[in-house]
């Protein structure tokens, strides 16, 4: 089935470490279910399927050593499974899918921060995701130092978080370039505002699409 024939909505959440995606997704899922009576599916990348969760473990564990190319391929392998097993069926059923990270993460992290080229990585992403595009992307913009501080308060650093500040600044730079290029889909939200205020701003945007 073509994406245009599917009645569901595909909404993705992007941002650097500790931006607040998980917190915001929880709040939106609750409100869309309770107030709007919608069927909501929360999922994440890497992960979301049995194979995807195994790939996630490989990608995030601190002792994993891999080239940037191998890293890219693993994120894309997880995505391909996720799309076929989870996202497309949910879209066909008319669900609202809230997905923690998708192609924009790969473009910002592997494309810009790892230096593989945003254009080339975007091309691979489009091919692997069979041109599936989110109806809406909420990008939670935060100063990387603030985001890393928040993330470290709640858990140990994983392999990618452990990269230096310069790497995390490049991720933000990558996201801001996408925001400039795709203003209709990719919406920037100030992630330094309090959670309740952020949820209100996000809800206003989401209601335009569901």
Residues that bind ligand Z5A (CB under 6 A): 15, 17-23, 45-46, 60, 75, 100-101, 105-106, 109-110, 150-151, 153-154, 158, 160-161, 191, 194-195, 198
Q: Report the nearest approach of ligand Z5A to the CB of residue 87 (Å).
A: 13
Q: Report the nearest approach of ligand Z5A to the CB of residue 161 (Å).
A: 4
Q: Report the nearest approach of ligand Z5A to the CB of residue 209 (Å).
A: 21
Is the peptide bond between 163 and the residue preceding it cis, with omega within 30 degrees of 0?
no
Whole-angstrom CA distances from 158 to 38, 59, 182 are: 34, 9, 30
Q: Give the largest Cα separation in the chain, rounded.
A: 46
Distance CA 113, CA 176 (A): 13
Which residue number, 8 or 161, has a Cβ lying nearer to ligand Z5A? Answer: 161
Q: Report the nearest approach of ligand Z5A to the CB of residue 7 (Å).
A: 26
Which residue number, 100 or 141, has a Cβ lying nearer to ligand Z5A? Answer: 100
For residues 185 and 138, the answer to whether their CB atoms sit within 8 Å is: no
Distance CA 23, CA 4 (A): 30
For residues 107 and 179, the answer to whether their CB atoms sit within 8 Å is: no
Q: Report the nearest approach of ligand Z5A to the CB of residue 158 (Å).
A: 5
Which residue number, 55 or 91, has a Cβ lying nearer to ligand Z5A? Answer: 55
Which residue number, 5 or 88, has a Cβ lying nearer to ligand Z5A? Answer: 88
Which residue number, 94 or 195, has a Cβ lying nearer to ligand Z5A? Answer: 195
What is the chain's length?
Answer: 210
The span from the first CA to the last CA of the chain, in angstroms, equals 20
Q: Which residue is nearest to ligand Z5A (CB)?
A: 20
């Amino acid at each position: 089935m073509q994406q245009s024939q599917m009645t569901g909505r595909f909404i993705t959440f992007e941002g650097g470490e500790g931006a607040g995606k998980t917190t915001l997704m929880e709040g939106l899922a609750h409100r869309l279910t309770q107030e709007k009576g919608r069927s909501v599916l929360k999922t994440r990348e890497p992960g979301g399927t049995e194979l995807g969760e195994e790939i996630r473990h490989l990608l995030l564990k601190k002792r994993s050593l891999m080239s940037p190319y191998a890293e890219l391929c693993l994120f894309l392998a997880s995505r391909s499974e996720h799309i076929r097993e989870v996202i497309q069926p949910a879209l066909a059923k008319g669900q609202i899918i809230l997905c923690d990270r998708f192609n924009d993460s790969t473009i910002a992290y592997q494309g810009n921060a790892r230096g593989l080229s945003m254009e080339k990585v975007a091309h691979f992403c489009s091919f692997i995701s069979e041109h599936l595009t989110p109806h809406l992307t909420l990008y939670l913009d935060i100063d990387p130092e603030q985001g890393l501080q928040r993330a470290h308060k709640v858990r140990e650093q994983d392999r990618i978080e452990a990269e230096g500040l310069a790497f995390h600044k490049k991720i933000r730079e990558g996201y801001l370039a996408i925001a400039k290029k795709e203003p209709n889909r990719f919406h920037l939200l100030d992630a330094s505002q309090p959670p309740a205020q952020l949820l209100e701003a996000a809800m206003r945007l989401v209601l335009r699409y569901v």
